[in-house]
Amino acid sequence: MPNPKSMKRVLVGVGGGIAAYKVCELISTLFKSGVEVRVIVTSTAQEFITPLTLATLSRHQAYTDEDFWQAKYSRPLHIELGEWADLFVIAPLTANTLAKLAHGMADNLLTNTVLASTCPVLLAPAMNTEMWEQLTVQRNWRDLLTDSRYHGMSTASGLLACDRVGAGRMAEPPEIFAYVKSLLHTAGKRDLIGKRVLISAGGTREHLDPVRFIGNPSTGKMGLALAQAALHRGANVTLVHGLASWNAPLGVQAISVISAMEMQQVMLEYLPNADVIIMSAAVADVKPRDYSLEKLPKRSLPQDLPLEPVPDIIAQLARQKQPHQKIIGFAAQNGDIVKPALEKLQKKKLDAIVANPIDQPDSGFGSDNNKAIFLDNQGRIMVIEPCSKLEMAHHLFDFI
């Protein structure tokens, strides 16, 4: 177990909606990641999930309004909890609780604790589509988010518990968990508000015919983490990615491509409006010279496959960038990772580069974790010890 003195402390407020069951996964994941968790469960939430379940998953008593109105604590409970928390998460956020927060009302333990705290508050709304789209609800949502303490997650669209198909689904627990980890890193700062961040991710495929291609094992997880980190820090994010097994975060404009040529076209299209461009994609270096519209019979496959180079996307971006723009590249290497990264940084005239090893355990392609050395064109060097890719993404934004 982590050292209790170094553990981050997250207070989870559970609102009264059917999505309350999803919070169980979030609480369990937080605890397993080394976060200390406390839970407040509203009276209406107890119609959907029991305090016992939440207490079992958090390994601590789950607090209810009954606890709030009893004088069995040495200090007022809402004051104690408000001062204890590094981060407050409210999920699901109901229309009722949203209205109370937007108008500074406090009539239960949850809302009193919000007003008694100063930490960042992450909100994950969930409600029926008609409820979510009401003008009064949307006005409350906009008004609340004008307070820099509050960080709002987008609702997803899909089949709701009422059988309605539309907006209003609560963000999934893994997405909430990622946002929590971001806010614990940044302490809620939004240093990318007003910035447009353009990110490439994943591998490209250069086809010989409809089923055969030259590719690489990149999964795009690093680019996904960069998109999450930028979004959580307030940026407007466009993510251009190869084929992926994951979904882009809610609130990110995601554009799927296959070949280097397609990625080049999209990146150049979005370049003029971007402030920060991060080329984390593993773009192919070469492609088959000839392409067959139909699958080639095995007997017709060439013994020697003629190849030709694909566009050098990052070099083109660097040539066209404006003085206010920053372009960051990646260099996945084995052996000495610094020398080739420095050469790429200088040759392609980048602002910074991330050198990361592909021949070490738990780093590189497909891994959930990574390690790296950051270098920039001012001669700065930062060594990043093994950490999650989301943590590395935040370290990179801190660096640049």
Residue pair 50/75 in contact by the 8 Å Cβ criterion: no
Other beta carbons within 10 angstroms of residue 169's beta carbon come to 24
The full set of domain ranges for the chain reads 7-186, 196-399
pLDDT tens, per residue, the chain with 400 residues: 444 446 799 999 999 999 999 999 999 999 999 999 999 999 999 999 999 999 999 999 999 999 988 767 778 999 999 999 999 999 999 999 999 999 999 999 999 999 999 999 999 999 999 999 999 999 999 999 999 999 999 998 777 777 777 788 899 999 999 999 999 999 999 999 999 999 999 999 999 999 999 999 899 999 999 999 999 999 999 999 999 888 999 899 999 999 999 999 999 999 999 999 999 999 989 999 999 999 999 988 888 899 999 989 999 999 999 999 999 999 988 888 999 999 999 999 999 999 998 887 777 788 889 999 999 999 999 999 999 999 999 999 999 9
User: Is 311 marked as a binding-site residue?
Assistant: yes
> What confidence tens digit (pLDDT) does each residue in 295-310 have?
999 988 888 899 999 9
User: Is 349 marked as a binding-site residue?
Assistant: no
Distance CA 184, CA 181 (A): 5
Residue pair 140/102 in contact by the 8 Å Cβ criterion: yes
Q: At what angle do helices 389-399 and 173-186 cross, to 10 degrees?
A: 40
CATH class of 196-399: alpha beta
Q: Beginning with the edge strand found earlier in the chain, give each strand of the sheet holding 236-241 in spatial order.
A: 253-256, 236-241, 196-201, 276-279, 326-333, 352-357, 369-376, 381-388
Distance CA 23, CA 172 (A): 9
Active-site residues: which are they?
162
| pTM for the predicted model, two decimal places | 0.92
**7-186 and 196-399 agree in CATH topology:** yes
User: Is 304 marked as a binding-site residue?
Assistant: no
Distance CA 385, CA 376 (A): 18
**What fold characterizes domain 7-186?**
Rossmann fold (3.40.50)
User: Is 31 marked as a binding-site residue?
Assistant: no
**DSSP per-residue letters across 40-93:** EE-TTGGGTS-HHHHHHHHTSPEE-HHHHTS--SSS-HHHHHHHH-SEEEEEEE
User: Is 344 marked as a binding-site residue?
Assistant: yes
User: Is 351 marked as a binding-site residue?
Assistant: no
User: Is 314 marked as a binding-site residue?
Assistant: yes
Residue tagged 């495929």 (tokens): 205
User: Is 312 marked as a binding-site residue?
Assistant: yes
> What confidence tens digit (pLDDT) does each residue in 323-345 have?
999 999 999 888 889 999 999 99
Residue type, 225: A
